[in-house]
Structure 1
Amino acid sequence: MSAATPLRATEPPHDCPLCPRLVGFRESLRQGYPDWWNAPVPAFGDPDAWLAVVGLAPGKHGANRTGRPFTGDYAGALLYDTLAKFGLSEGVFDARPDDGLELRGVMLVNAVRCLPPENKPTPEEIRTCRPFLEAPIAALPRVRVFVALGQIAHQSAVKALGGKLPKAKFGHLAEHRMPDGRILVDSYHCSRYNQNTGRLTQPMFEAVFERALQLRDAVAA
């Protein structure tokens, strides 16, 4: 299995050795599920993007299995349906990395590239992986708007963009202007838990991307 990436020079190696706990988890999954991706998950999207969506980390049965962000698990359905609704994708999302889906104006990248046990990376793992968030950001000069899915993604994005966390508190639909003028919009993560508990509804999630489009148009005006 392989995963295509538009930002190959910014990606961690397939056998990235930097986080021992994540390496051990990866190796155990390679033994149990040898046909899965089981490696750092690369960014996916449009290299000419104006919007970057920052997620938390690969899901075990989603991106860690398929090699494409938000592909193959519950969270991805809402994300990709929302991108399609706002004209930010072409093709049909079929939860497979070979479904032919293409993003338009959007890049997806995770704050942590490897699957963490119980979907909970440690603070050290988040810090260690931050260069692999900073690198794609630097490689996407046209991105002016960022959407952070959840608090960990928010914190990593703020730091990667040179902001200060005390001045940028996480909150759904909260907006934060970074030192270089780019804008970060927060969203609750589109996880199964948040959707099932009603913490995040479809209209709430769509409002985030509607606002991102408004910000894009305001910058272009």
Structure 2
Amino acid sequence: MPPASPLPATEPPHDCPRCPRLVAVRETLRLQHPDWWNAPVPAWGDPAAQIAVVGLAPGKLGANRTGRAFTGDGAGPLLFDALARHGLVTGAYEADGADDLRLTGAIILNAVRCLPPGNQPTPEEVRTCRDFLSGSIAALPAARIFVALGEVAHRSLVKALGGRLPKCRFGHGAEHVMPDGRVVIDSYHCSRLNQNTGRLTPAMFDAVFARAVALARA
């Protein structure tokens, strides 16, 4: 079983009915793979975190299978290696989640909590799920630095934090100060596709988290 959410009051129900298309995917996969998680993936990490990482949505063979954010597919190793280099994890990552990995000073959220077909939620699905993202943010009073993985996460996060998108254009390494002083740092998503094409390198990704930690400590 995946770890319990550190923010249980902010999570969608296990059988969340809000997005019919995502419900259909979930029900199909529950029949095909009854041993998978196949449900909204909860937040994972330190509820006292200063740094919050916001991803797009669970991957089919990753979090949708294991129930733990960024665990089980090609995106996880790059993310957890970067977090480890900056002292934000303890323990060692295993792809099945049966490990002693813990986040310290960081927490992981998703803009969309359920698996979307082709890893592409519709704008309406992103809007529908933003209540849960906003609720999680409200339950993290110490979080001042937010790392947005990809443009979809960036857009939903900026809106949840009360920012204005025309003034907050997505770009790898871009920084945006929100009305209350919290900071969003953008990164290309750590997907296997972006890694394989060279759009995102380990050095590029590491620089984002180096900056996040520096701002959190300032």
Q: TM-score range by the shorter chain?
A: over 0.9
Amino acid paired to 2:115 = L
**Structure 1 residues 37-89: Cα deviation after superposition (integer angstroms, max 9, x where no partner):** 00000000001100000000000000000000000000001000111111100
Match in the other structure for 2:116: 116
Q: Distance in 2 between matches of 1:28 and 1:96?
A: 22
Match in the other structure for 1:141: 141
1:187 paired to 2:187: yes
Match in the other structure for 1:79: 79
Deviation at 1:216, TM superposition (A): 1.2
Deviation at 1:95, TM superposition (A): 1.8
Deviation at 1:214, TM superposition (A): 1.3
Match in the other structure for 1:65: 65
Match in the other structure for 2:164: 164
Deviation at 1:3, TM superposition (A): 4.1
Amino acid paired to 1:11 = E
Cα separation, partners in 2 of 1:2 and 1:70, compared to 1, 3 Å:
closer
Q: Distance in 1 between matches of 2:66 and 2:46?
A: 19
SS in structure 2 at match of 1:130:
helix
**Structure 1 residues 3-57: Cα deviation after superposition (integer angstroms, max 9, x where no partner):** 4111111000000000000000100000000000000000000011000000000
TM alignment of 1:85-124, pairs within 5 A: 85-124=85-124
Runs of 4+ deviating beyond 4 Å:
none
Q: Distance in 1 between matches of 2:39 and 2:213?
A: 33
2:13–2:40 CA contact under 8 A, matched in 1: yes
Amino acid paired to 1:201 = T
Match in the other structure for 1:153: 153
Count, aligned residues: 218
1:161–1:178 CA contact under 8 A, matched in 2: yes
SS in structure 2 at match of 1:70:
coil
Deviation at 1:2, TM superposition (A): 4.8
2:161–2:178 CA contact under 8 A, matched in 1: yes
Q: Distance in 1 between matches of 2:89 and 2:73?
A: 18
1:3–1:97 CA contact under 8 A, matched in 2: no
* TM-score of the superposed pair, with normalisation by structure 2: 0.98
1:176 paired to 2:176: yes
**Structure 1 residues 108-160: Cα deviation after superposition (integer angstroms, max 9, x where no partner):** 00000000000010000000000110011000000010000000000010000
Q: Distance in 2 between matches of 1:37 and 1:131?
A: 22
SS in structure 2 at match of 1:176:
strand
Amino acid paired to 1:166 = P
Match in the other structure for 1:38: 38
**What is the root-mean-square deviation of aligned Cα atoms in Å?**
0.8
